[in-house]
Each structure stands twice: as structure tokens, then as C-alpha cells.
Structure 1
Amino acid sequence: MKSQWIVVTNAALARIFSRKSAIEPLVPVATLTHSESRLRTGALATDRAGRQAADNSHGVNQFEPRSDAHRKEHRRFAREIAQRLDEALAAGKFGSLMIFSSNPFIGELKAQLSNAVSERVQTLLDCDLSHVGITELERRIAVPSDGKP
């Protein structure tokens, strides 16, 4: 039986664990951090919004960027996690996948997953468990003995 991987993430931190079965303890595989997600918008984007003088007026129109800098960083981190999962799946390191992620980052991550990885996802929940200790994490994701979550 191939391992099950558990991904616990938010927009700045992703922890990946492995286990052979639901009753075995979690084994840390990797920790990915993305400190840019925690920076202030001014530190991420140095450009000011575009400006244009309006005809026949004294005011100025200001154009906001289509996507804010934080969202771009979240997308970049989601792509990094998805790439790591693709590589691990290609290497045969896991057979199934559980993902626990903060909302709305879960949407960014889900959008970046390849079809092959998406087919392996058994659980996809929007709850941020990224800062929970390993013992507490095992308790929270445990499957009861009757097999029903």
C-alpha cells in the first residue's frame, strides 16, 4: 500500500506529512514557507496605481491593478505546493492525499493542482491547521474506528 500524504497549509506555511495507514503516526515530509504572503502590500508592490487626467475636469482617475499583490503571492505559493505534489506523485511517494487549508487559499491551491493529483485527493477541507502540533493534528484528522469521519 502506498503512503497517504496529508497537506496542512495556509497562504504562508505548508506542512506535508506521510503515513502508511490511518492508525500509524504522522511522519513529517516537508515544510514550505512563503514569507512574502505576510508582507504589507507596499513591500510587495512598489508601483503606484496608474493615473490619467480626465477630460474637462480637474480630477485625476486612478486605475487599480486587476489583482492585488497578496493574491499574486498566494497564487505563486499555491503553484509551488502543487509542483511539489506533482513531483512526489510522479516519484510514487503517495497514493492518496488529504488537504486541510485556510479559506480562501484552498481555492488558489485547488486551482493549481494537476488532474493527476486532484484524482488522489480523498479529503479537501477549508480549515487552517497549519500551526497545530503534530499530536493535536493526528487527533483532529483521525478516522473513527467505525470508518466514518
Structure 2
Amino acid sequence: MATTWILIANASFARLYANHGIKKGLQLIKEFNHPESREKSAELVSDRPGHNKSQGNGHGAFVAASQPKQNEAGKFAQELAQVLEHGRTSNIFDRVILVASAPFIGLLNNQFNTHVRNLITDTIEKDYTRFAPQELTGRLSHCIYL
């Protein structure tokens, strides 16, 4: 019977479930926590932005090229993509269902290589991280037989 991995994620928390066939339900494989994504931007950087002088009486501050929270979310997406890549190379699963919050799903998709991307059969742009496995089965019944 084909094994399906279901990744439920947002920028700071994720759960990876497995389904091993009809009437087998969801089995929790691992939980991932990335508290840095919940931190305030000021707590993620060590210094205040530098200042620049302009002509006249004006002042300005340098703006970072990217936001620290965005960087942390990208690191978390990379970690989750590595887990799926390891599962793919170990032949642990046959397909993936990806459920992630709207801003985070794009970061995840950018991290997946072509091989993992080809195994993703369903993508749901919702944040289901707070749902219990029993509630997830109802919400995912359209894409997997639980």
C-alpha cells in the first residue's frame, strides 16, 4: 500500500503525518518547532540600523535588504524541505500532501527540489496547525482516503 506524508505547517510550527492506507488514519511522525519565527524583528538582530547623512538637515536610517522574520521563516522552510528530501531518498513515502499558511507555502515551494515537487499531489493553502488529527481527517478527506 502507498504511504502518503502530510506536512501541516506555518512559519513557526509544523507537523508531519503519515497515512499508510485506507482506514489507517494519521500517524504523527514528528513535530517541528521554530520559535525564532515568532520573535519580534528587533529581538532577532543584534544592532539597530545604521544612519546615513543626507544633504541639508535630513536624516535617514539604512533599511535591511530583507526582514529578519522572513529570514527565519526561510530557514524553517529549508529545514522542512530537507526532511522531505531525506524521506524521498530513503523511499519512505510515495506522495506528499502539503498544507501550509498562505505566506509560508511560497517559501516552502521555493525550497523543494524537482524530485520532491513531483511527489506533491495536493497543495492546500490553509493554516491547519492548530487542528487535532481527528479534525484533520475530515478536512483532508477529499484528497486522501482515511
Q: What's the TM-score, normalizing by structure 1?
A: 0.92
State the partner residue of 1:2: 2
State the partner residue of 2:103: 104
Structure 1 stretches lacking a partner, 5+ long: none
CA RMSD, 1 decimal: 1.7
Q: What's the TM-score, normalizing by structure 2?
A: 0.93
Aligned counterparts, 1:1-149, within 5 A? 1-55=1-55, 57-143=56-142
Pair 28,37 (structure 1): closer, same or farther in 2 beyond 3 Å? same
1:59-79 CA-to-partner distances (Å, cap 9, x unmatched) read 212221111000000000000
Letter in 1 for 2:116: V
Q: Does the CA-based 8 Å contact 2:96-2:122 persist in structure 1?
A: yes
Pair 80,69 (structure 1): closer, same or farther in 2 beyond 3 Å? same
Deviation at 1:19, TM superposition (A): 0.8
Letter in 2 for 1:21: G
Q: Does the CA-based 8 Å contact 1:2-1:93 persist in structure 2?
A: no
Letter in 2 for 1:66: A
Letter in 1 for 2:77: A
SS in 1 for 2:81: helix
Q: Does the CA-based 8 Å contact 2:122-2:143 persist in structure 1?
A: no
Deviation at 1:109, TM superposition (A): 0.6
Q: Percent identity?
A: 27
User: How many residues matched?
Assistant: 145
Structure 2 stretches lacking a partner, 5+ long: none
SS in 2 for 1:2: coil
Q: Distance in 2 between matches of 1:63 and 1:14?
A: 34
Letter in 2 for 1:3: T
SS in 1 for 2:14: strand
1:104-140 CA-to-partner distances (Å, cap 9, x unmatched) read 0000011001111000001111100011001001111
Letter in 2 for 1:25: G
